[in-house]
Amino acid sequence: MATDLATVASPPPATPVERFRLHPRPNSGTGLRWLNDLREAGLDRFGRLGFPPARSEAWKYTSLRALETLPLEPVAASDRLIAPSAYAPLPLPPELNRSRLVFVDGVFDPAQSRTAALPAGVVLAPLRQVLAERSDLAEAHLGRIAEGEGQAFISLNTAFVDDGAVLHIPDGVDLETPVELVFVGHAGDRPLVWHPRILVVAGAGSRATVIEHHAGVGGASYLANGVTELALGRGARLNHYRAQRESLQAHHMAMVTAHLAQDAYYDNFVLSEGAKLSRNQIHCVLNGSGVTCRINGAYMVRGRQHCDTATFIDHAYPHCASREVYKGAIDNQARAVFQGKIMVRPDAQKTDGYQLNRALLLSEHAEIDSKPELEIYADDVKCSHGATAGDLDADCLFYLMARGIDRDSARGLLIGAFLNEAVDEMEHEAARDGFRTLVADWLKGR
């Protein structure tokens, strides 16, 4: 039979870049030229960059080859109609009054969301709504904080930026009720991808607490490619916490960029326990003197999970302090990666920088790759970092067992205490208690 060339289906695109080009462009904010330009520029940059190559320094210990071959598809309207099965909510005290925005597979779900009474001028809304009603707000900040240059996943997110959460707090406003942002991944029969965007603009002297909760339902495989942009004005104070509990087949990217103005106070904590492959990337730019930047976290992984943490604290002005404590427990054949960098630029005198990464290897096949890095160009600074890796201290274990506690319980106690040392860095008490519960729950699953 003669082959009719026209009927031969063209082969599926080989590279992720080509595949993403076929994804439909988002339909939100139509008519906003700046948004269209932003997306096109993002797609162009992603086209140039592609997924980070193996052996690139920023992704030295994390292979994206499996993700690259995954035939990811965009979320279709039919997917959104499925009601989310009950995901485990974040164990926060029930009496804690809070606003909540829920996103299912990256799309805002008004049925599950509720907004507490907000002070005048505060905007808390899904991005699609902001693009429709207050596009000036988005235009002023969207894509201006997160830098796409050399950041393939940020560019990819920008290319398809559509929904997500926007929180805008005017100068001097104290947002007493915490904001909970819930992202539920529950994709079904085929691997989906979505690109949630979070934008928080905290005016001068404002105060707020944002708690992100990323939950997965079932064993779905998907890529949640999130980007968070934060701008803290002078003297603003933001608590920003994330519990990452994606499905164990999921790929989770969280690229956070924070611009901190003079005297701003930023308290960040990330707890990673979900996802097959996760990347927690935080880039803080200290844009004025007197800034305090706290980036802490804990990771608990098992099975064949891969958890990558990459932080960069850029001290550009004098008299700033940064503190970073990351602790992790790695079980089975799981692998954790920590790359933390502190940069002190020439004029950033009197910088106080501290960084610590400690990892517990709980099984003979667990692996930790750690790269704490200091790059310092100012002389009158106090900077130190430390890193350790190894098993639990045998003496501590002996101490507990000598008092009649069996080995497993004793190990559990010690691992819990080890991880909670990082959790205790969180400054918001109710959130801290919730995260401690997550640690305890994870230990029960041992």
Partner 1 sequence: MVANVETIDQVRAVTEQKYKYGFFTNIETETAPKGLNEDIIRFISAKKNEPTWLLEWRLKAYRHWLTMAEPNWAKVGYPPIDYQDAYYYSAPKMKEKPKSLDEVDPELLRTYEKLGIPLREQELLAGVEKPAVAVDAVFDSISVATTFKAKLQEYGVIFCSISEAVEKHPDLVRQYLGSVVPYSDNFFATLNSAVYTDGSFVYVPPGVRCPMELSTYFRINAENTGQFERTLIIADAGSYVSYLEGCTAPMRDENQLHAAVVELVALDDAQIKYSTVQNWYPGDAEGRGGIYNFVTKRGACRGRASKISWTQVETGSAITWKYPSCILQGDSSIGEFYSVAITNNRQQADTGTKMIHLGRNTRSTIVSKGISAGRADNTYRGLVKIQPKADNARNYTQCDSLLIGDRCGAHTVPYIECRNRTASVEHEATTAKISEDQMFYCQQRGLSQEDAVSLIVNGFCKEVMKELPMEFAVEAQKLIGISLEGSVG
Binding site for partner 1 (CB under 8 A): 57, 61, 346, 349, 359, 361-391
Q: How far is the CB of 306 from partner 1 (least distance, A)?
A: 14
Nearer to partner 1, 28 or 333 (CB): 333
CA distance 211 to 217: 19
Nearer to partner 1, 221 or 305 (CB): 305
Q: How far is the CB of 365 from partner 1 (least distance, A)?
A: 8
Nearer to partner 1, 68 or 367 (CB): 367
CA distance 186 to 103: 11
Q: How far is the CB of 382 from partner 1 (least distance, A)?
A: 7
Nearer to partner 1, 189 or 379 (CB): 379
Nearer to partner 1, 80 or 382 (CB): 382
CA distance 110 to 85: 16
Q: How far is the CB of 422 from partner 1 (least distance, A)?
A: 18
Q: How far is the CB of 291 from partner 1 (least distance, A)?
A: 19
Q: How far is the CB of 416 from partner 1 (least distance, A)?
A: 18
Nearer to partner 1, 103 or 338 (CB): 338
CA distance 212 to 216: 13
Nearer to partner 1, 263 or 308 (CB): 308
Element (H, E) at 226: strand 222-232
Under a CB-based contact definition with an 8 Å cutoff, are residues 316 and 346 in contact? no
Nearest residue to 256 via CA among 286, 275, 293, 230: 230
Q: How far is the CB of 415 from partner 1 (least distance, A)?
A: 13
Nearer to partner 1, 36 or 388 (CB): 388
Other Cβ atoms closer than 10 A to 323: 17
CA distance 357 to 363: 19
Token pair 């080009």 is at which residue? 21
CA distance 218 to 246: 9
Q: How far is the CB of 406 from partner 1 (least distance, A)?
A: 20
Nearest residue to 196 via CA among 233, 224, 229, 221: 224
Nearer to partner 1, 253 or 368 (CB): 368
**Which residues make Cβ contacts (< 8 Å) with residue 402, sequence separation at least 6?**
none
Q: How far is the CB of 37 from partner 1 (least distance, A)?
A: 34
Partners of 313 in beta bridges: 284, 342
**Separation in Å, CA 190 to CA 74, 219, 234:** 10, 11, 46
Burial readout 340-379 (b: 16 or more C-beta within 10 A, e: otherwise) = bbbbbbeebeebebbbbbbbbbbeeebbbebebeeebebe
Under a CB-based contact definition with an 8 Å cutoff, are residues 321 and 313 in contact? no
